Amino acid sequence: MIHHLYLVAVPSIVAAGGSQPGSFYWWVSQTPLKILTAGSEAVLVFFVLSGLVVTLPALGKSRYSWAGFLSGRIARIYLPVWASLAIGTALIWLLPRDLGAVTPGSWIATSNAASTTAASLLNQMSLTAASYGVNNVLWSLRWELAFSVLLPLFAAVAFWVRRRWLLALCVALALSLLGLVTNIDALRYLPVFFVGTLMAVRLDAIREWTRRRLQRPHARLWGIVLVVGSLLLLVAGWLAQPIAAPGTLPGRVFTQLAVCGAAGLVLAAVGVPFLRRALDSRPSQWLGRVSFSLYLVHVPILASLSFLLGDDKWWLVALITIPLALLAAWGFYLAFERPSHRLARHTSQIVARDAARLSEKASRGAARIAVKFARR
């Protein structure tokens, strides 16, 4: 949400103070303060974390139902997505969007639909579209869905290469960089999920490694270095802009370091005590509970207010959006996300049970056929 508020504010900030070193824009964009407004970089953290937590339940289970997992995952993803699109469409209809009220060429003007059609809405509902004008954060859920479909393959490969994890990690990072350079989004983002999957199959070793680190002198300093270093890697592409322009190969290499930063933050969440305590606090737990809902509802609200008030009043948009989006996220969680959890569990159990029955019947049928052939 802070990232998208930053994008709304950028045209006015640059117009008022420029973008040269020392300007307000420079401070929030090309210094470590960029961590506060990181956007796509934060999504990479989510991708690594998803690769870890989605893979874990499947490990160590000889009879894990992939059909049950996928059916539940589809319900878990699609129900909140469709609800967010319904809210976004309703806001477009109720609060007409005038492109003249916002800066031409800005994020708010180019990435948020001023109107929509049934065909476009259905395309976005499928999560197969390349862009999502009604709620543009859905681009990341497209890759979340693709990862869910490919999880058996990812888990198998990660398990196979677990002893050569460093080589596998380097290959994943190289493939992701290749995707960034060639503008192939699947190649750019899916290896990031694999990094999390690799962490899942190595989780016991990771915990043992961090336990040993914590027993050494200056353990707290090690944790601070890991967290701070990971945060800086996350925004390395922005910090390096004076020496590596965006779009150039060096610039893209620095941008790609965000994947390393994302993995480092997930590692820190696993093994750094002070970060774990912060994440276990009540405010963090509440934000974690509604974070997915907040992710899904904040852009339709922000976009509607920006078109209504004008992006030149970004400060007023921010003052209204932040509390309204938090309140809407809690309501969305209660009305849609939490029920989607229950539906996903129920669906997964039913499909897993039915798949097991079909598998058992197929095995019996194959055994009978084998017996008949053996008697001939």
Q: Are 163 and 169 in contact (CB under 8 A)?
A: no
Q: What is the CA radius of gyration of the chain?
A: 23
Q: Which of 76, 71, 83, 68 is nearest to 50 (CA)?
A: 76
One-letter identity of residue 347: T
Q: Are 4 and 303 in contact (CB under 8 A)?
A: no
CA–CA dist 197, 77 (Å, integer): 19
Task: Compute the residue count for the chain.
Answer: 376
Whole-prediction pTM: 0.91
What kind and span of H or E run contains 78?
Answer: helix 66-94
CA–CA dist 16, 270 (Å, integer): 43
Q: Is 344 helix (H, G, I), strand (E, B) or coil?
A: helix
One-letter identity of residue 363: S
Q: Are 233 and 153 in contact (CB under 8 A)?
A: no
Q: Is 215 helix (H, G, I), strand (E, B) or coil?
A: coil
Provide φ and ψ at 117, rounded to 5°: -120, 165
Q: CB within 8 A of 11, min separation 6: which ones?
A: 103, 106, 311, 312
17: tokens are 């103070």
Q: Is 22 helix (H, G, I), strand (E, B) or coil?
A: coil
How many other β-carbons are positioned within 10 Å of the β-carbon of residue 138? 23
Each residue's pLDDT expressed in tens, for the chain with a length of 376 residues:
999 999 999 999 999 999 899 999 999 999 999 999 999 999 999 999 999 999 998 887 767 888 888 999 999 999 999 999 999 999 999 999 999 999 999 999 999 999 999 999 999 999 999 889 999 999 999 999 999 999 999 999 999 999 999 999 999 999 999 999 999 999 999 999 999 999 999 999 998 888 888 777 777 888 899 999 999 999 999 999 999 998 899 999 999 999 999 999 999 999 888 899 999 999 999 999 999 999 999 999 999 999 999 999 999 999 999 999 999 999 999 999 999 999 999 998 888 787 667 756 655 655 555 556 555 5
Residue whose pair of structure tokens reads 């945060």 in the numeric block: 231
